[in-house]
Amino acid sequence: MSELPFFPPDLFAEDREVLLDLIQEVGLSRDQRFILGERTADFETALRRSLGARDVIACGSGTSALGLVLRAMGIGAGDEVVVPAFGCAPLASSVLRVGAVPVFADVHPLHMVLDPDQAARRISPRTKAIMPAHMFSIMADMPRFAELADEAGVRLLEDSAVAQGATLQGVPAGLWGEAGVFSFVQVKSFGMPGEGGAVVTRDPGIARTVRMLRNHGQDGRQRFVHHLVGQNSRFDEIQAAFQLHRLRGLPARLERRAAIADYYTNRFQPLADDGIVPPPPGREGRCYYVYSLQAERRDELRDHLAARGIGSHVYYPAPLPKQPAFAPHAAPGGEWPNAQRACDRILALPIYPHLTDAEVERVADAVCEFARLRMAPTS
């Protein structure tokens, strides 16, 4: 039986020649410019146009994009930022690294994204920003968060790291917040073979500051004059040229991911009574970086798939406020039951665009077989 890995080694195989040529071209170029050159500027322009965004600033990773925006928003010591209790570490660490406090709010039980009502309850006079994150299949309720941020007079940072290509009410992910971020790491919907990210913003002040902060506080005009205490969060020229090339194929790859998700959801919807719950059907406000279902016997399902050569992945095994690094910063005695439930039940299935129909069917068959076996009466 052939292996169907969760992280496929041939993700960039069809662009192998292009990548090798670019390494040669950039590596041997006269100007020896490996970061923040013309290719990065062209990539930023192409992304900006494709999104209809006011500005895009490419940087070192999605994580550093979050930190750059928090700093550009002036968030620091003594401030609070409301973040989801379920999600990736940078949601908490980026806040802590600017000296502020992440205030964890629970998530929606099925959608697993920050619940606006829970977020509203966590707003205090010290709150400076709300930072909802789109999760594996579903965008956060950005219209509600925009209202909430407005009413509370706080900033709205949209963690759209995993949601590139998704739209809600016709507005692309990343454009709902005063600033949004993307991550281009490997398996993301616009992943690449390396680290990278971007800030998207409609605010010229945020854009200017982020541009300076990503390159040691320099303003791009005069070298070695440091106006701000910045950092190194620069973008690689080879990757910029590669992403420019891959941008053309992005809509087709996103469509393929969406079609795989539609197929899975269609197959899994009848399994709810067997303890397997897919994300709700539909394409509005949906992203297809990862296809995550919830399963009552998640670990058994994972083993069942592994025994059939199918890779799966648990993102994430513990709520953020229960992580050793973040627990000391969480509300003492706090409970985040929906985040805990998501961590106990979530399982991500392969969804990369070059999966064949037969492979997609094989994954779905294996999940359905598990449900049938579990339901079979024991004699």
Ligand X SMILES: Cc1ncc(COP(=O)(O)O)c(C=O)c1O
C-beta of 140 vs 206, nearer to ligand X? 140
- Asked if residue 114 binds ligand X (CB under 6 A), the reply is no
- Asked if residue 118 binds ligand X (CB under 6 A), the reply is no
Assigned token pair, 352: 């990369």
The 3-state DSSP class for residue 89 equals: coil
* Choices 4-12, 61-69, 123-131, 363-371 (CB under 6 A): range interacting with ligand X: 61-69
Distance in Å, CB of 30 to ligand X, minimum = 31
- Asked if residue 185 binds ligand X (CB under 6 A), the reply is yes
- Asked if residue 161 binds ligand X (CB under 6 A), the reply is yes
**Interactions with ligand X, residue window 188-207 (CB under 6 A):** 197
C-beta of 89 vs 307, nearer to ligand X? 89
CA distance 240 to 246: 10
Placement of tokens 């219209």 in the chain: 143
C-beta of 70 vs 162, nearer to ligand X? 162
The 3-state DSSP class for residue 6 equals: coil
C-beta of 7 vs 25, nearer to ligand X? 7
- Asked if residue 159 binds ligand X (CB under 6 A), the reply is yes
- Asked if residue 88 binds ligand X (CB under 6 A), the reply is yes
* Choices 157-165, 205-213, 224-232, 296-304 (CB under 6 A): range interacting with ligand X: 157-165
- Asked if residue 172 binds ligand X (CB under 6 A), the reply is no
Of 36, 53, 61, 123, the one binding ligand X (CB under 6 A) is: 61
- Asked if residue 62 binds ligand X (CB under 6 A), the reply is yes
- Asked if residue 53 binds ligand X (CB under 6 A), the reply is no
- Asked if residue 87 binds ligand X (CB under 6 A), the reply is yes
Look at residues 314, 312, 317 and name the one whose alpha carbon lies nearest to residue 264: 312
- Asked if residue 183 binds ligand X (CB under 6 A), the reply is yes
* Choices 83-91, 117-125, 207-215, 237-245 (CB under 6 A): range interacting with ligand X: 83-91
Assigned token pair, 174: 């990343």
**Which amino acid appears at position 298 of this protein?**
R
Distance in Å, CB of 35 to ligand X, minimum = 17
Contacts 24+ apart (CB under 8 A), 147-154: 148/116, 148/119, 148/120, 148/123, 152/120, 152/123, 152/127, 154/123, 154/127, 154/128, 154/129, 154/130
C-beta of 66 vs 366, nearer to ligand X? 66
Helix axes 90-97, 62-72, angle to 10 degrees: 40
- Residues 6 or more apart whose Cβ sits within 8 Å of residue 283: 258, 262
C-beta of 133 vs 366, nearer to ligand X? 133
Phi, psi of 353, rounded to the nearest 5 degrees:
-65, -25
Look at residues 163, 157, 152 and name the one whose alpha carbon lies nearest to residue 203: 157
- Asked if residue 342 binds ligand X (CB under 6 A), the reply is no
Distance in Å, CB of 167 to ligand X, minimum = 18
**Virtual torsion, Cα 12, 58, 169, 259, nearest 10 deg:** 0
CA 290 to chain centre: 9
Distance in Å, CB of 98 to ligand X, minimum = 15
CA distance 164 to 144: 20
The site for ligand X, by CB under 6 A, has a size of 13
Distance in Å, CB of 159 to ligand X, minimum = 5
Phi, psi of 84, rounded to the nearest 5 degrees:
-70, 150
Look at residues 224, 343, 242 and name the one whose alpha carbon lies nearest to residue 39: 242
Of 105, 133, 166, 213, the one binding ligand X (CB under 6 A) is: 133
* Choices 2-10, 23-31, 158-166, 323-331 (CB under 6 A): range interacting with ligand X: 158-166
C-beta of 66 vs 277, nearer to ligand X? 66
Burial 202-211 (b: 16+ CB within 10 A, else e): ebeebbbbbb
- Asked if residue 353 binds ligand X (CB under 6 A), the reply is no
The residue ranges that bind ligand X (CB under 6 A) are 61-63, 87-88, 90, 133, 159, 161-162, 183, 185, 197
